[in-house]
Structure 1
Amino acid sequence: MTNVKDMLATYPADLGDIDRDKLTRCIEECIACAQTCTACADACLSESMVGELTKCIRTNADCADICTTTAAVLSRHTGYDANITRAIVQACATACKACADECESHAGMHEHCRICAEACRRCEQACNDLLATLG
Structure 2
Amino acid sequence: MDTMDMALMQACMDACSACEQACAVCSTQMMDCAPACMNCADMCNTMMRAMLRMQGMTPASMVAMLDACIAMCATCEDMCLPHAEMSEVCRMCAQACRACIDACQAVKDSMTV
Could you say whether these structures have the same fold, taking a TM-score greater than 0.5 normalized by the shorter chain as the test? yes
Which has the higher relative contact order, 1 or 2, with Cα contacts under 8 A spaced 6 or more apart?
Answer: 2
Identical-residue share of aligned pairs (%): 33
TM-score (norm 2): 0.94
Pair 1:40 & 2:17 matched = no
Q: Which of the two has higher C-alpha Rg?
A: 1
- Aligned partners of 1:62 and 1:79: how far apart in 2? 24
Q: Which runs of 4+ in 1 moved over 6 A?
A: none
33, 55, 75: which one pairs with 2:52?
75
SS of equivalent to 1:105: helix
Structure 2 residue runs of 5 or longer lacking an equivalent are: none
The aligned counterpart of 2:4 is 18
82, 89, 111: which one pairs with 1:112?
89
- For residues 45-64 of structure 1, the aligned pairs below 5 Å read 45=30, 53-54=31-32, 56-64=33-41
Structure 1 residue runs of 5 or longer lacking an equivalent are: 1-14, 46-52
- Count of aligned residue pairs for this structure pair: 112
TM-score (norm 1): 0.79
- Aligned partners of 1:69 and 1:126: how far apart in 2? 15
Aligned-pair RMSD on alpha carbons? 1.1
